[in-house]
Structure 1
Amino acid sequence: MKSTTRGTIAAVITAVAAATGAAAATPAAALGTVPVPVPLEGAESALGMELPKLGGEIPVPMPGTPEGPRYVEGRLIPEHALPQLPVHGGLPGIGLRAPLPHILGDGFDHVGVSTPASDLRTLAPGLALDAPLTPPNPDNFGLPDLKVPQAGVLAPVLQTVPGADLVTGAGL
């Protein structure tokens, strides 16, 4: 094989790998939050005092790809007949910084509470069914046997790790 052919094949493989990596990275990069500031500057100037700084973050939920039905030996209907739909997003975050009068002199200190937006993984409820017939039985001339039908609900899933910070310091 010529070196130009090998170089062309290497370039094509590199381009395919880069495109695959970019496609896999896009959903993770698309997840994010939308900042929500709470404007209190007008109230500060009207009241003539320093008010707390307040803001939040609203996560953008992104639906995932459901896990398809799986065929299991001994069942006529595939497992997970109605698959669970995954949704990835997050819990909303909030930040509050309030001024505290400085005990020893002029100026202000602050106390702050923040709960950053945290990742949230959910799965919608699903359904599992099985028919009241068995697969064809060779001992019964290829006819299926009767059995008790089965139906089940797959429970929803909710996974997250929330957190919060309490801080104090100088300045607002």
Structure 2
Amino acid sequence: MNPIYRFRRAAMACTLLAATAAGASGAAEPGNKAESQCRTVQANAAWQGSGVSVGPGQFICVGAEGLWSHGGQGIQAMTPFYGPEGFGKDEPNTVPEVVSRTGALIGRIGANAPFLIERQLCFIPAASGELSLSMNDQPGAFDNNRGSMHVQILKWADYRWAPRRIRLEPQACNAR
């Protein structure tokens, strides 16, 4: 079972334009306020808990900024640094998460299957549990990784209260 219903950057539900982290301005419902959490996700550690519990019917947005690396590459042993989109190529034979690319920011809810986040993802969870975050890398290969991502997580108690446009600013977070 897929743990999320996806809304990608192109979807109307999740764009980077107007509204604030507190919700759509001028909305009358008291439940339209989003809970905002900021975290730092280290490249050298697998599955880090966010402290955010999610469940069906909620609306969740995750945004990331930063640079990290999954270690040396190629004959030159160059160490590339890149953003939350990953190294730039899919490697389904060498990475455990066939849904994403090496070095991309990924998430999972509880013990469910991982999903691709990259720079921003807004979704309605189909499962309940804590949202965990990680760099997509081979199990046991995190010791040579460097860098981190600043991540902002917005959560609305009910997807019907989420604004049409969302502006995530993970670089402005006081990440923990």
**TM-score of the aligned structures, taking structure 1 as reference length:** 0.21
**Higher fraction of helix:** 1
**TM-score of the aligned structures, taking structure 2 as reference length:** 0.21
Q: Whose radius of gyration is greater, 1 or 2?
A: 1
